[in-house]
């Protein structure tokens, strides 16, 4: 095992010794396309648990021993560019482990850039609600920030009515970070204020809408069909950057992918305050005699903050803090045959330090992450489905460009620890699953 790990590290160092250059197809100064290839490779030392995407029966996947996995988590081919000054575009084709490496359009959109204050576009895009929706996680200092990839399925039982951290687009998702829709966005006063307004296809489903006292999410009993796409989902986000203090705006208003990052490798100092609102009717024709209501309309609110700044020329220090509250995500049984509308909420924090002086052939950094998730639901006299999640990662960045450290190429070693509490812990233990999970990993990220 040690030889395998050393081999993986040396392969990564050899690859990183090659200079990273973007490939560009250029017609003129205003018409071009930048091409991208990206790969994420892991060795995972997985704890007891079930792993895999959307298990139909978690017991078939649960393992009561530690597992050793080498895997390519993601391979991406992308393009981003513009046609004249008016039209910009981007698209990503992804092959992911949790999609059995079927290549699919992960994201893609076309925008019309009328003015910095008014940009409009449509496609398969990030939903403008929370900062987490906009974060490009390939650059995240903690590799286990990559959605719920490292999260064992016994904890995902709590996330079936709404999963704030899952990436990509799937029709079965109750809440989507990426969706089909249209967005208007803009930057006012050089980024002092930015706004994002989106409308998306509204999805309705009776699946995973009821938590019973016997445990587990199931279908809601309905008296009619679910009329998906009957109306729109609405999302609004506002961001504020104190440019008068010398901070620069993040470029998500002008970037057709709308990405922000937890670190920019020291290219500029930034600080962003954000708020968001989300609205979607996701269940109708529920049995009112059973649940006391005939529909569920999810309203959600997000508040977040992020900054990164260079100190004493060589220390890059950054942090991120966010809170998301989802109202009316499901029904849950409070006492026998008495149901109530249930909510879910989460908060998360991230902090990192990157040392911008060479050690060996590159630059080192460390990151920390915390998540807390709570969902309404009772089990065995316990209330609330709760888990906490901790992550830490040491990274080594071998490449530095003219403006800053290239944070898209690195080697990392880290861990991810999760523990269930309250009703979720009781439910997991009743299933003879493990209510805690400790996974450690070695990862290599390459971006060209």
Q: What is the DSSP string of 287-315?
A: -HHHHS-S-EEEEEEEEEEEEEEEETTTE
Give pTM, 2 decimals.
0.90
Torsion on CA atoms 59, 63, 69, 72, rounded to nearest 10: 10
Please choose, from the candidates 362, 415, 360, 361, the residue with its C-alpha nearest in 3D space to the C-alpha of residue 392. Answer: 415
The pLDDT assigned to 393 comes to 97
pLDDT at 4: 43
Q: Would residue 328 count as lying in a domain?
A: yes
- CATH number, domain of 386, equals 2.40.160
Q: Strand runs (DSSP E) across 153-215, as ranges?
A: 178-188, 193-201, 210-211
Please state, in angstroms and rounded to a whole number, the distance separating the CA atoms of residues 303 and 319.
15
Contact 442, 172 (CB under 8 A): no
Whether 76 maps to a domain, the answer reads: no
34 belongs to a structural domain? no
Average pLDDT, the chain: 90
In this structure, is the dihedral angle defined by the CA atoms of residues 142, 148, 150 and 156, taken in order, positive or negative?
A: positive
Residue 99 covered by a domain: no
Any domain includes 202: yes
Range of the domain at 201: 2-22+115-447
pLDDT tens sequence across 91-140? 999 888 766 778 888 899 999 999 999 999 999 999 999 999 999 988 99
Two structure tokens written together for 305: 């903050």
What is the distance, to the nearest Å, from the Cα of residue 249 to the centroid of all Cα atoms in its chain?
21
418-445: buried (b, 16+ CB within 10 Å) or exposed (e) per residue? bbbbbbbbbbbeebebbbbbbbbbbbbb
d(CA 299, CA 279) in angstroms, rounded, equals 5
Please report the pLDDT score of residue 13 as a whole number: 38
CA gap 79, 106 in Å, rounded? 12
Please report the pLDDT score of residue 20 as a whole number. 45
Quickly state the pLDDT bin for 151 (edges 50, 70, 90). confident
> Is the C-alpha dihedral spanning 433, 434, 435, 440 positive or negative?
negative
- 84 lies in a domain? no
pLDDT in tens, 334-391: 999 999 999 999 999 999 999 999 999 999 999 999 999 999 999 998 999 999 999 9
Is 87 inside any structural domain?
Answer: no
Integer Cα distance of 48 and 439 in angstroms = 9
| DSSP at 440 | E
Give me the mean pLDDT over the 48-60 stretch: 62
Summarised one tens digit per residue, pLDDT across range 211-266 is 999 878 999 999 999 988 889 999 999 999 999 999 999 999 999 999 999 999 99
In a domain, residue 417? The reply is yes
Q: Give the list of residues 6+ apart from residue 60 with CB closer than 8 angstroms, or none.
A: none
> Could you give the number of structural domains in the chain?
1
| Contact by Cβ (8 Å): 218, 205 | no
């Amino acid at each position: 095992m040690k030889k395998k790990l050393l081999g993986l590290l040396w392969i990564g160092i050899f690859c990183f010794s090659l200079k990273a250059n973007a490939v560009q197809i250029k017609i003129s100064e205003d018409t071009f396309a930048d091409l991208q290839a990206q790969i994420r490779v892991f060795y995972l030392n997985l704890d007891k648990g079930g792993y895999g995407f959307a298990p139909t029966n978690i017991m078939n996947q649960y393992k009561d021993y530690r597992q050793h996995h080498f895997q390519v988590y993601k391979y991406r081919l992308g393009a981003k560019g513009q046609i004249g000054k008016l039209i910009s575009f981007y698209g990503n084709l992804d092959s992911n482990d949790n999609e059995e490496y079927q290549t699919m359009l992960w994201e893609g959109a076309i925008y019309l850039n009328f003015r910095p204050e008014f940009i409009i576009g449509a496609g398969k895009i990030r939903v403008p609600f929370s900062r987490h929706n906009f974060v490009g996680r390939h650059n995240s200092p903690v590799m286990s920030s990559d959605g719920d990839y490292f999260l064992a399925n016994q904890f995902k039982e709590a996330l079936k009515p709404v999963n704030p951290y899952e990436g990509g687009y799937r029709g079965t998702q109750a809440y989507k970070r990426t969706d089909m829709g249209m967005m208007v966005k803009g930057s006012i006063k050089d980024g002092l204020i930015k706004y994002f307004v989106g409308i998306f296809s509204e999805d309705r489903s009776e699946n995973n809408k009821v938590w019973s006292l016997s445990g587990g999410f199931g279908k809601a009993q309905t008296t009619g069909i679910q009329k998906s796409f009957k109306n729109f989902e609405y999302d609004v986000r506002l961001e504020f950057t104190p440019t008068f203090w010398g901070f620069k705006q993040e470029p998500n208003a002008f970037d057709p992918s709308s990405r922000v990052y937890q670190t920019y490798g020291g290219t500029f100092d930034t600080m962003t305050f954000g708020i968001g609102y989300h609205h979607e009717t996701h269940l109708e024709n529920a049995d009112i005699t059973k649940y006391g209501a005939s529909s569920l309309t999810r309203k959600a609110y997000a508040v977040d903050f992020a900054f990164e700044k260079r100190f004493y020329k060589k220390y890059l220090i950054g942090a991120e803090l966010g809170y998301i509250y989802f109202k009316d995500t499901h029904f849950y049984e409070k006492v026998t045959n008495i149901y109530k509308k249930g909510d879910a909420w989460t908060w998360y924090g991230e902090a990192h330090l990157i040392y911008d002086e060479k050690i060996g052939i590159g630059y080192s950094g460390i990151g920390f992450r915390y998540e807390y998730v709570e969902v309404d639901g009772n089990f065995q006299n316990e209330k609330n489905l709760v888990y906490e999640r901790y992550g830490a990662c040491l990274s080594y960045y071998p490449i530095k460009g003219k403006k800053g450290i290239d944070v898209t190429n690195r080697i990392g070693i880290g861990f991810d620890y999760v523990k269930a509490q309250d009703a979720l812990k009781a439910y997991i233990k009743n299933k003879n699953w493990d209510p805690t999970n400790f996974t450690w990993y070695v990862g290599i990220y390459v971006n060209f």
